[in-house]
Amino acid sequence: MKKTIFTMWKRCGEQYKDLPAVRWLVKKDVHELSYGELAAKTAEIRKGLAALSFDHKHISIIGTSSIEWIKAYMSVVSSSNAAVPLDPALPAEDLIDLVARSDSEGVFLDKKFAALADAIKAGCPKLRHLWMLSEEKEEGAETIADLIEAGKDTPEGEPPAEDDVSMIVFTSGTTGKSKGVMLTQSNLYCNVEAIVYDEPPGVVFLSVLPVHHAFCLSMDWLNGFWMGGIICINDSLMHMVRNMTIFNPHVMLMVPLMLETIYKRVKALGDGVPPEILAKKVFGPNLTRIFTGGAHLEPYYIDEFAKFGIEVYEGYGMSECAPVITSNKAGAWKPGSIGKPLPNVEVKFEDGEICVRGTSVMKGYYNMETETEQTLRDGWLHTGDKGYMDEDGFLFINGRVKNLIILSNGENISPEEIEGKLALKEFVGEVIVTGEDNLLTARIYPDPDTTEGKTAEEIRAALQAILDDYNKDQPTYKQLSRLVVRENPFFKNSSRKIIRTEVLRDEPLA
């Protein structure tokens, strides 16, 4: 059997035919679609694409998480074409640039962003069709309904080959120009096959991460479908806590910042309330597992969530590896580590840098040969992360190669190591450590919840006390010499990672 998303999706549609596949809210009502119904709908859309000569073409998808988005995505990745999921929050000129740079000949566009349609058409000369993400016909615009009608009397196109590019994911770009990561059918299949964990069909997921992220698409959607899960769509981060009690998930996927924020808010709400009662009230009665990745999570939070009866498993990955590389799991877990490599992944180290190879590693960056050669060398993907593996085979990360602060005395400082320690402190909301004039500076955005009601002077004094306490146990070269208190959060990319090249923007005079 070919290792393609087409074969995976065909199996899911048959094996789990009558099970719910997706649930979502329409106002206050929960709607659902079964695996059989969703598979049939994606087949109709694939036939429409074939009727319009979409074969080995690129198709961008712009929108927030919705059932229509998922129908479009699964239709494209289970065909011979490549999906290009894009962040709808990007400025219009950036979206147009990515549609053009990806050579997309088709675009699926969320109706919420209909105002972009004319600009996309004008700025993307290779574009042949733009469909609104709607199954109703609309005057003056093409929709999914028109696409389905076009394919009514057309047989499906040839199924994809394992080496066909299935998805182009643009990196968020905390530095430099975003790159289009080409992931093949077998890249996606092999990654999902390797990360499957022990959950029965019918397990409920609540998908809260932006749907255009590789981490969300792989771990929530493709992995969830693989095991016959019910994936519930979170309509807004503002409604996440409410939606936990509506959908009652067993499993969730979060980035550390979300986990930390929820924990701090729960603690503020639940003083004196027994953890098990608080957990059911906030998370619903069924939540037992949270998978996290994308940034380092302090082990403290893993211990704290355990008190709520929730296991938190930290993993590691990058879009270039489809995306999961390592993961902790039940029975194979170590605090502070990012887990063991997946069965289809090899890991080695070059000058402390983590390098990986295996069946999930990307084909390359789209139309960026130089960058591909710099990242893929002799079959090994150079991650840019520094780390080590312990005697039990668990991987640990201790910083980014490009983020190292090199002092004149030759000492190398990983800012992430210091940031992780400071982030645990009560009054610290966000923190970045930088190096200027051979000294270390802590730039801190205070936690608005714990500092509410305090004056600027009181907040500065509290944060300075945290720095003084940290410095007591550090060698001179690792001590923090300066504190900058920010009035606003740091600028972040769509993955909710702080953009380090932008840390001086919006800097206060203090």
Per-domain residue ranges of the chain: 36-150, 204-401, 404-502
- Which residues are registered as beta bridge partners of 231? 22, 205
Asked if the domains at 36-150 and 404-502 fall in one CATH topology, the answer is: no
Check residue 324 and give its pLDDT: 97
Check residue 420 and give its pLDDT: 86
Listed in sequence order, the residues at least 6 apart from 401 whose beta carbon sits closer than 8 Å to its beta carbon are 352, 353, 384, 385, 386
Check residue 176 and give its pLDDT: 56
Return the sign of the alpha-carbon dihedral for residues 303, 304, 305, 306.
positive
Check residue 174 and give its pLDDT: 44
Report H helices in 106-253. 117-123, 144-150, 185-195, 214-216, 223-226, 240-247
Check residue 408 and give its pLDDT: 63
Check residue 175 and give its pLDDT: 46
Domain 36-150 class, CATH top level: alpha beta
Check residue 501 and give its pLDDT: 82
Pairing of strands 289-292, 311-317: parallel
**CATH, domain range 204-401:** 3.40.50.12780
> Digits of tens for pLDDT over the chain (510 positions)?
899 999 999 999 999 999 999 999 999 999 999 999 999 999 999 999 999 999 999 999 999 999 999 999 999 999 999 999 999 988 899 999 999 999 999 999 999 999 999 999 999 999 999 999 999 999 889 999 999 999 999 998 899 999 999 999 998 654 457 899 999 999 999 999 998 778 999 999 999 999 999 999 999 999 999 999 999 999 988 899 899 999 999 999 998 888 888 887 787 776 678 888 888 888 999 999 999 998 778 899 999 999 999 999 999 999 999 999 999 998 899 989 999 999 999 999 999 999 999 999 999 999 999 999 999 999 999 999 999 999 999 999 988 877 878 776 667 788 888 998 899 898 999 999 999 888 999 999 999 988 888 999 999 999 999 999 999 988 788 899 999 999 999 988 777 778 888 888 877 654
Question: Are the CB atoms for 147 and 48 separated by under 8 Å?
Answer: yes
Q: Say how far apart CA 144 and CA 106 lie, in whole Å.
A: 12
Find, among 234, 219, 328, the residue nearest to 284 by Cα: 234
Q: Could you tell me the pTM of the whole model?
A: 0.86
**CATH, domain range 404-502:** 3.30.300.30
Query: 57-74 as b/e, with b when 16 or more CB fall inside 10 Å?
Result: bbbbbbbbbbbbbbbbbb
Single-letter amino acid code for the residue at 46: R
Pairing of strands 380-389, 58-62: unpaired
